[in-house]
Amino acid sequence: MSYPGYPSQGYGNPTVHPVQPFDPRSDAEVLRKAMKGFGTDEKAIINVLARRSNTQRQEILLQFKTLYGKDLISNLKSELSGKFEDLVIALMKPHYEFMAKEIHDALAGIGTDEETVIEVVCSATNGEIHAIKSVYQNMYGRSLEGDLKGDTSGNFKRLMVSLCMGNRSEDYNVDPAAAQADAQALLRAGELRAGTDESAFNAVICQRSYPQLQAVMQEYQRITGHSLLKAVKHEFSGDIEEGLMTILKCVENRPAYFAERLYKSMKGLGTDDRSLIRLVVSRCEVDMGDIKTAFEAAYGKTLASFISGDCSGHYEKCLLALIGEY
Is 270 labeled as ligand-binding? yes
pLDDT of residue 11: 56
From residue 326, alpha-carbon distances to 15, 89, 158 in Å are: 11, 19, 43
Name the phi and psi angles at 93, rounded to 5.
Answer: -80, 140
Q: Identify which of 88, 92, 66 has the alpha carbon closest to the alpha carbon of residue 79.
A: 88
- Asked if the bond preceding 21 is cis, omega within 30° of 0, the reply is yes
Is 310 labeled as ligand-binding? yes
pLDDT of residue 4: 35
Burial pattern 117-134, b for ≥16 Cβ within 10 A else e, equals: bbbbbbbbbbebbbbbbe
What are the domain boundaries of the chain? 24-80, 96-165, 176-236, 254-323
Q: Identify which of 76, 46, 92 has the alpha carbon closest to the alpha carbon of residue 323.
A: 46
Q: Identify which of 164, 60, 64 has the alpha carbon closest to the alpha carbon of residue 107.
A: 164
Q: What mean pLDDT is reported for the chain?
A: 95
The pLDDT of residue 46 is above 60: yes
Q: Please give the full DSSP string across 118-153, using - where no structure is assigned.
A: HHHHHH--HHHHHHHHHHHHHHHSS-HHHHHHHH--
Say which CATH superfamily domain 96-165 falls into: Annexin (1.10.220.10)
Tens digits of residue pLDDT in 119-137? 999 999 999 999 999 999 9
The pLDDT of residue 21 is above 50: yes
Tens digits of residue pLDDT in 88-127? 999 999 999 999 999 999 999 777 899 999 999 999 999 9
Tens digits of residue pLDDT in 226-267? 999 999 999 999 999 999 999 999 999 999 999 999 999 999
CATH of domain 254-323: 1.10.220.10
Give the separation between CA 283 and CA 298, rounded to whole angstroms: 18
First CA to last CA across the chain, in angstroms?
A: 24
The pLDDT of residue 309 is above 50: yes
CATH of domain 24-80: 1.10.220.10
Give the separation between CA 271 and CA 46, rounded to whole angstroms: 21
| Percent of the residues in the chain that have a pLDDT greater than 90, as a whole number | 93
Q: How many residues does the chain have?
A: 326
Is 37 labeled as ligand-binding? no
Burial pattern 272-307, b for ≥16 Cβ within 10 A else e, equals: bbbbbbbbbbbbbbbbbbbbbbbbbeebeeebbebb
- Helix (H/G/I), strand (E/B), else coil: 238: helix
Tens digits of residue pLDDT in 50-84? 999 999 999 999 999 999 999 999 999 999 999 99
Q: Identify which of 310, 305, 307, 262 has the alpha carbon closest to the alpha carbon of residue 283.
A: 262
| Close Cβ partners of 170 (under 8 Å, ≥ 6 residues apart) | 5, 126, 209
pLDDT of residue 9: 41
Mean pLDDT of 276-302: 98
Query: Does this chain's domain 24-80 share its CATH topology with 176-236?
Result: yes
pLDDT band at 268 (very low <50, low <70, confident <90, very high): confident
- Helix (H/G/I), strand (E/B), else coil: 72: helix
Give the separation between CA 143 and CA 134, rounded to whole angstroms: 8
From residue 279, alpha-carbon distances to 74, 291, 323 in Å are: 24, 10, 11
Answer whether CATH 1.10.220.10 is correct for domain 176-236.
Answer: yes
pLDDT of residue 197: 95
pLDDT of residue 10: 44
pLDDT of residue 233: 97
The answer to whether the CB of 277 falls within 8 A of the CB of 286 is no
| 268 compared with 260, residue with greater pLDDT | 260
Give the separation between CA 248 and CA 155, rounded to whole angstroms: 17
Mean pLDDT of 30-45: 94
Minimum mean pLDDT among 38-42, 179-183, 225-229: which range? 38-42
- Helix (H/G/I), strand (E/B), else coil: 166: coil
Which spans in 152-209 are helix H?
154-164, 176-189, 198-207
pLDDT band at 5 (very low <50, low <70, confident <90, very high): very low
